[in-house]
Amino acid sequence: MEEKRNMLSLLTNRRMFLTSMAILTSLRSHKKVHAAVDSEEGIKLGVASYSLRKFSRKEAIRMIKVLETPYVNIKSFHLNYESTPSELAGGVREFEQASLRIVGGGTITLQKDEDEDVRKHFEYARRCDMPIMVIAPTPETLPRIEAFVKQFDIRVAIHNHGPEDPYFPTPQSALKLIKNMDPRMGLCIDVGHTARTGVDVVDSIAEAGDRVLDMHMKDLRSFTDKGSQCAVGEGLMPVASIFQTLKKMKYKGHVNLEYEIYPEDPLPGMKQSFAYMRGVLAGMSQ
């Protein structure tokens, strides 16, 4: 039964891909596609800079520009936690001068239940002008984090890391702990890790509702094999259903591609992933 379901999902993805590519080629210009699917009113596709962890900030900026998105979620490889305030300011200017918008940072580990550690990371986020921190906390650190959310007015989104995560393997495991907390306490749903736990990705997104503050997009050929990650559109991820659900929810956050494979040469797969996602979104806009 599971194999049949996976096969049907794969065939649906393939059909959507072919349909989307036909739509893309029928549009008058490349710019019109971007206007349709990357506008402030639509679903905003961005890049998690962890995808470019093997590259310097300058190289990462160049590669993000190739993907033609202005949105980037910064991993510390490209704005180091230990940098001085002036060094961070200079790094932020590099992104700004490239017409890139820092829409968040992370994943940031917040597992020390100490004011000094939590404050340090919130101050880092503020210096980098990050409106949201994608975080890996523990249940015990959440109340302390909530206090700093209120103080700094910076949102946090708990990133679920799948079956290996002892605290938050699924979105549901985080949602039950934050449901009565400040509304700026939310989730970064990683669709790949979510699928690997056996829960339904689309249902998980809908269940979380306005607590979904950020998303990491990836794809897998098998939802039981972490090593089967592939370019978005080549696997079993129900991308069209995910986007349709986000659109129905009037989701205001970003969908950031986190491409974890081929770290030495990620750009071809990232370009393919963006083409597929833009094709799906363009198809939905018709």
Report the CATH number that the domain containing residue 168 is assigned in CATH: 3.20.20.150
pLDDT higher than 70, residue 9: no
**What are the angstrom distances between the C-alpha of 224 and each of 3, 65, 194, 259?**
12, 33, 11, 18
pLDDT in tens, 229-284: 999 999 999 999 999 999 999 999 999 999 999 999 999 999 999 999 999 999 99
Range of the domain at 251: 2-285
Comparing C-alpha atoms, which of 217, 219, 216 is closest to residue 234? 219
Mean pLDDT of 90-119: 96
Mean pLDDT of 35-60: 84
Strands, DSSP E only, in 63-180?
A: 71-74, 101-110, 132-137, 155-159
Q: What's the predicted TM-score (pTM) here?
A: 0.86
How many domains does the chain fold into? Answer: 1
pLDDT in tens, 172-218: 999 999 999 999 999 999 999 999 999 999 999 999 999 999 999 99
